[in-house]
């Protein structure tokens, strides 16, 4: 297993690359979508939160796809800082809203995504994380309910009341000029049909380009949010996604925190099942207390999930992808995001060192392996 850091668009700077190395990372996962663009209720010092139903911000320029030169330049900057660029996380709603919505621009946007994937392949970036969701990450509240009164994110009950306004998808505004109205509800089967078509269209190009697509589950994992169906809101639904199109490029951006929030199944069984299949491109690691619709995100060393058990399962199954901290509560200091990340990375590095230590006794190894089952 490799340890990395996820960096938002405004953090793609030498200072942040140095911070990642200082905190022990060898890899980074980058976000090229600026979630915070014109998002007044979405401060850049935290994970993108927004208000309960406000979009995070305004999507990018639909005419500007990420170019090979821009991607190569990014990769070189990261490599010059001594790190490896492991993945790009998330497509810009500006580039694929009508794939999600099955709108009139779907054919050209499928070509957009194919072009982006080809550009990534040419630039030597091996993974594209995505989240096939209409309502996106929403319905959460930010409260000072974490350990030591840390500001943290969670759900305080179902959040299905507010429909998605027209011009918004996946929690971002892609068209601010829409006169009004709301997105009509669709069925779960219709959402799966859209995903299937998307994967069938783009996976052959991804295979050719040497890029793997990696799916994030629905966060929060409710059956519906804002009157729209969710795709992966129980652990077994990941299997349906993998089985829907057989391809070496069809993989998972497995989010341990989101899976732990699901009402069915077992997070250890899910991590074991998907890592044994070799289907996890990379891992989002965070801890949580509770399940939807009542949960909150916690620091890595507390919460419901036994992280040592999760990491020992990944170790046993020889997971060789990257693990990045997902979100953490905000720590009370001048750099709440940095402090939360450094704390989480320290925990992960210690666990990794323990699992990989030649000094660990056979008995300890056996016990950890047992624990991982
Ligand atoms: Mn996640």
pLDDT tens digits, 230-279: 999 999 999 999 999 999 999 999 999 999 999 999 999 999 999 999 99
CA of 201 from ligand 1 middle (Å) equals 25
CA of 286 from ligand 1 middle (Å) equals 8
CA of 178 from ligand 1 middle (Å) equals 30
CA of 241 from ligand 1 middle (Å) equals 17
- Cβ atoms of residues 372 and 313 within 8 Å: yes
Averaged over 20-34, what is the pLDDT? 96
Percent of the chain with pLDDT over 90: 83
CA of 216 from ligand 1 middle (Å) equals 7
CA of 326 from ligand 1 middle (Å) equals 5
CA separation for the pair 256, 279 (Å, rounded): 14
Averaged over 305-328, what is the pLDDT? 96
Residue 293 preceded by cis peptide, ω within 30: yes
Q: What is the 3-state secondary structure (H, E, C) of 163-200?
A: CCECCEECCEECCCCCCCCECCCCCHHHHHHHHHHHHH
- Name the DSSP class of 151: B
CA of 180 from ligand 1 middle (Å) equals 31
Residues with CB under 5 A from ligand 1 (ion): 255, 284, 326
CA of 232 from ligand 1 middle (Å) equals 13
Phi and psi at 197, nearest 5°, equal -60, -45
Kindly tell me the burial class for residue 278, based on how many C-beta atoms sit within 10 Å of its own C-beta (0-12, 13-18, 19 or more): middle
CA of 324 from ligand 1 middle (Å) equals 9
Q: What angle do CA 213, 306, 286 make, to 5 degrees?
A: 45
CA of 49 from ligand 1 middle (Å) equals 13
Q: Across all residues in the chain, what is the average pLDDT?
A: 94
pLDDT digits (tens, 9 = 90+) for 353-369: 999 988 765 656 666 66
CA of 284 from ligand 1 middle (Å) equals 5
Neighbours of 22 (CB within 10 A): 10
CA separation for the pair 8, 264 (Å, rounded): 31
What pLDDT does 64 receive? Answer: 93
CA of 29 from ligand 1 middle (Å) equals 12
CA separation for the pair 3, 299 (Å, rounded): 17
Question: What is the number of structural domains in the chain?
Answer: 1
CA of 51 from ligand 1 middle (Å) equals 18
Least-confidence region, from 29-43, 151-165, 173-187, 347-361: 29-43
Neighbours of 348 (CB within 10 A): 23
User: Which residue range(s) make up the domain with 224?
Assistant: 2-372
The tokens of 195 are what?
């995903």
CA of 230 from ligand 1 middle (Å) equals 15
CA of 138 from ligand 1 middle (Å) equals 13
CA of 44 from ligand 1 middle (Å) equals 17
pTM for the whole structure: 0.95
pLDDT reading at 8 higher than 90: yes
What pLDDT does 44 receive? Answer: 76
What pLDDT does 361 receive? Answer: 55
3 state DSSP class of 81: coil
Strands (DSSP E) found in 9-65: 27-30, 57-58
What pLDDT does 368 receive? Answer: 63
Q: What is the CATH number of the domain that holds 298?
A: 3.20.20.150
CA of 234 from ligand 1 middle (Å) equals 14
What pLDDT does 367 receive? Answer: 61
What pLDDT does 245 receive? Answer: 98
CA of 265 from ligand 1 middle (Å) equals 18
CA of 131 from ligand 1 middle (Å) equals 10
pLDDT reading at 341 higher than 70: yes
Residue 180 preceded by cis peptide, ω within 30: no
pLDDT digits (tens, 9 = 90+) for 92-124: 999 999 999 999 999 999 999 999 999 999 999
CA of 276 from ligand 1 middle (Å) equals 20
Kindly give, in sequence order, each residue whose CB lies less than 8 Å from that of residue 120, ignoring residues fewer than 6 positions away.
Answer: 66, 71, 88, 126, 128, 209, 211
């Amino acid at each position: 297993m490799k340890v990395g850091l996820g960096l938002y668009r405004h953090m793609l700077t030498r200072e942040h690359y140095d911070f990642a190395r200082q905190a022990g990372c060898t890899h980074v996962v980058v976000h090229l979508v600026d979630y915070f663009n014109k998002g007044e209720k979405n401060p850049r010092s935290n994970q993108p939160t927004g208000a309960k139903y406000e979009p995070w911000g305004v999507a990018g320029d639909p005419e500007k796809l990420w170019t090979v030169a821009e991607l190569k330049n990014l990769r070189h900057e990261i490599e010059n800082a001594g790190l490896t660029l492991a993945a790009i996380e998330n497509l810009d709603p500006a580039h694929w809203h009508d794939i999600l919505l099955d709108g009139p621009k779907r054919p050209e946007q499928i070509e957009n995504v194919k072009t982006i994937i080809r550009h990534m392949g040419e630039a030597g970036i091996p993974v594209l994380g995505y989240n096939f969701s209409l309502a996106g990450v929403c319905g959460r509240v930010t409260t000072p309910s974490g350990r030591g009164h840390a500001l943290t994110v969670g759900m305080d009950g179902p959040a299905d009341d507010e429909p998605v306004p027209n011009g918004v998808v996946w929690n971002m505004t892609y068209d601010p000029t829409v006169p009004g109205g709301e997105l009509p509800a669709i069925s779960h089967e219709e959402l799966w049909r859209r995903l299937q078509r998307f994967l069938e269209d783009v996976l052959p190009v991804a295979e050719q380009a040497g890029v793997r697509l990696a799916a994030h589950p629905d966060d929060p994992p409710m059956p519906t949010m804002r009157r729209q169906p969710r795709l992966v809101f129980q652990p077994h639904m990941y299997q349906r996604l993998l089985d829907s199109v057989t391809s070496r490029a069809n993989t998972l951006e497995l989010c341990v925190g989101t899976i732990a929030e699901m009402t069915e199944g077992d997070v250890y069984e899910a991590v074991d099942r998907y890592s044994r299949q070799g289907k996890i491109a990379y891992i989002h690691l965070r801890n949580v207390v509770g399940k939807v619709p009542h949960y909150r995100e916690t620091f890595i060393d507390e919460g419901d999930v036994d992280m040592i058990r999760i990491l020992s399962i990944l170790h046993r199954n020889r997971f060789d992808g990257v693990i990045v901290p997902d979100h953490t509560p905000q720590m009370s200091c001048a750099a709440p995001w940095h402090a939360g990340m450094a704390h989480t990375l320290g925990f992960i590095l210690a666990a990794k060192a323990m699992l990989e230590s030649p000094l660990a006794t056979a008995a300890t190894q056996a016990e950890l392996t047992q624990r991982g089952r």
